[in-house]
A and B are shown apart, each in its own frame.
Chain A
Amino acid sequence: AQSTDTFNYATYHTLEEIYNFMDLLVAENPQLASKIQIGNSYEGRPIYILKFSTGGDNRPAIWIDTGIHSREWVTQASGVWFAKKITQDYGQDPTLTAILDSMDIFLEIVTNPDGFAFTHSSNRMWRKTRSKTAGSICVGVDPNRNWDAGFGKPGASSNPCSDTYRGKFANSEVEVRSIVDFVKTHGNIKAFISIHSYSQLLLYPYGYTSQPAPDEEELDQLSKSAVTALASLYGTKFKYGSIIKAIYQASGSTVDWTYSQGIKYSFTFELRDTGRYGFLLPASQIIPTAQETWLALLTIMEHTLNHPY
Chain B
Amino acid sequence: TEDFVGHQVLRVSAANEAQVQMVKELEDLEHLQLDFWRDPSRPGTPIDVRVPFSSLQAVKIFLESHGISYTIMIEDVQSLLDKEKRQMSSFQAR
Contacts and interface: CB of A to CB of B under 8 A. Distances in A.
A196 B81 CA distance: 20
Contacts of B48: 275, 278
Given A125-B2, A163-B35, A280 B87 contact: no
Contacts of A27: none
B1 A278 contact: no
Contact of B1 (A123, A163, A275): A123
A18 to B, nearest CB: 13
Given A161-B30, A248-B42, A280-B77, A275 B11 contact: yes
B91 A11 contact: yes
Contact of A199 (B38, B74, B88): B38
Interface string B64-83: 00000000011001001101
Interface in A119-133: 121-125
B42 A275 contact: no
A98 interface: no
A248 B27 CA distance: 16
Interface residues of A, number: 24
B73 A275 contact: yes
B84 A280 contact: yes
A276 B48 CA distance: 10
Given A278-B74, A280-B74, A125 B46 contact: no
B9 interface: yes
A248 B41 contact: yes
B1 A121 contact: yes
Given A247-B45, A279-B37, 13 more contacts: A122-B1, A123-B2, A124-B1, A164-B39, A198-B37, A247-B41, A248-B42, A275-B73, A276-B73, A278-B9, A278-B74, A280-B74, A282-B84
7 contacts: A12-B87, A124-B1, A125-B35, A199-B38, A278-B9, A280-B84, A282-B84
